[in-house]
Chains A and B, each alone.
Chain A
């Protein structure tokens, strides 16, 4: 009979420990959810920001044309202006 009571007390203690641990796991899981949602929003915003990356193609074309004009202009200057030496 004594062992039976000791077993009950031990079982109750184990129950308290398990409940405490499960409560900690639940709290951690609940704290992760808002972070994941924030990460999802940030990733969405970052993806939208990268929509402008397509404009780099236009920028590349403009740079090529600008350099071509500068090269033509430099070529003309090279013809009409004497060299330093």
Chain B
């Protein structure tokens, strides 16, 4: 009886102790895994301090540079006012390298900074006339600032530019080409021509003399005695027959004999148009 009781006690102790050992074994394995990852963390974070310190040093140098330049060019008082205008409340903190800036009462430079405007104007730049709120619209944005430029034009080109007549495209690359007989210039376009050429042709109808009143396309008897492009002085050929021209004369030309006009003896030749020695190839 006693032996059985002792055996049961020992068995119960063994069961519990083995269970505890198993749990401790799991804990040990888990901690080994933790130690491995912690080692990686330590290894990866080791250079972070040096890099961040270097970045902070660079940024400090940048702040020193910008603060110094602003104070040097605008003066300490105006510099405080400019910063206060851009970031209200920041004047109380002052500049890091200028401790006296915290005692300066910031001037109101919230709208126009005349000195900066004049400086930019002197440099030939388009001067921004105001220091805007960072949250407000861009004042000098070359992409979004076109409305300010468009406001300089009449209303028709501000809000309804898509309905405005387009300028004609001329030249050999024009989408619509006309035969020379129709390109007399200055003719009054009729309705069909306007329909064909587009709305811009209507503008040509204004200020053009109609044919019945002696316009450029009027009959010959309605034109004046000396109409343009029809007189003896304008638009006429020389009347010389083509056979009088030697087409091969240029091939036989000699610069020493044919290259200059006949100059009378003892007359200084006119060399003002002759190229200089340095200009000759």
Q: A interface vs B, CB < 8 Å?
A: 8, 11-12, 15, 18-19, 22-23, 25-26, 29-30, 32-33, 36-37, 39-40, 43-44, 46-47, 50-51, 53-54, 56-57, 59-60, 63-64, 66-67, 70-71, 74, 77-78, 80-85
- Separation in Å of the A30 CB from the closest CB of chain B? 5
Q: Does B130 contact A (CB under 8 A)?
A: no
Quick check: B20 and A29 within 8 Å, CB to CB?
A: yes
Complex Cα–Cα for A60 and B48 (A): 11
User: Beyond A57-B51, A85-B75, is A26–B20 a contact (Cβ under 8 Å)?
Assistant: yes
Q: Does B72 contact A (CB under 8 A)?
A: yes
- Separation in Å of the B54 CB from the closest CB of chain A? 6
- Separation in Å of the A52 CB from the closest CB of chain B? 9
Quick check: A29 and B72 within 8 Å, CB to CB?
A: no
Q: Please name 9 further chain A to chain B contacts, defined as beta carbons within 8 Å, in addition to the given A15-B12, A74-B69, sorted by A numbering.
A: A22-B13, A22-B20, A29-B23, A39-B34, A56-B51, A59-B55, A60-B54, A63-B59, A83-B73
- Separation in Å of the A23 CB from the closest CB of chain B? 7
Partner of B69, one of A40, A59, A78: A78
Question: Which residues of chain B are near A26, meaning CB under 8 Å?
Answer: 16, 19-20, 23
Q: Chain A interface secondary structure, helix, strand, loop or mixed?
A: helix
Quick check: A22 and B65 within 8 Å, CB to CB?
A: no
Quick check: A71 and B65 within 8 Å, CB to CB?
A: yes
- Separation in Å of the B72 CB from the closest CB of chain A? 6
Quick check: B13 and A70 within 8 Å, CB to CB?
A: no
Quick check: B16 and A19 within 8 Å, CB to CB?
A: yes
- Separation in Å of the B61 CB from the closest CB of chain A? 6
Q: Which of chain A's residues has its CB closest to B59's CB?
A: A63
Question: Which residues of chain A are near B51, meaning CB under 8 Å?
Answer: 56-57, 59-60
Indicate with 1 or 0, residue by residue over B1-38, a CB within 8 angstroms of chain A CB atoms: 01001000100110011011001101100110110011
Complex Cα–Cα for A64 and B56 (A): 10
Q: Does B66 contact A (CB under 8 A)?
A: yes
User: Size class of B's contact patch?
Assistant: 35 or more
Quick check: B73 and A44 within 8 Å, CB to CB?
A: no
Complex Cα–Cα for A43 and B59 (A): 32
User: Beyond A47-B41, A71-B65, is A8–B5 a contact (Cβ under 8 Å)?
Assistant: yes
Complex Cα–Cα for A85 and B9 (A): 98
Quick check: A33 and B23 within 8 Å, CB to CB?
A: yes
10 sampled A-B residue pairs with Cβ under 8 A: A8-B2, A33-B27, A36-B30, A39-B34, A47-B40, A60-B58, A64-B58, A67-B58, A67-B59, A83-B72
Partner of B30, one of A40, A51, A71: A40
Q: Does B146 contact A (CB under 8 A)?
A: no
User: Beyond A40-B30, A70-B62, A84-B75, is A50–B69 a contact (Cβ under 8 Å)?
Assistant: no
Complex Cα–Cα for A84 and B73 (A): 5
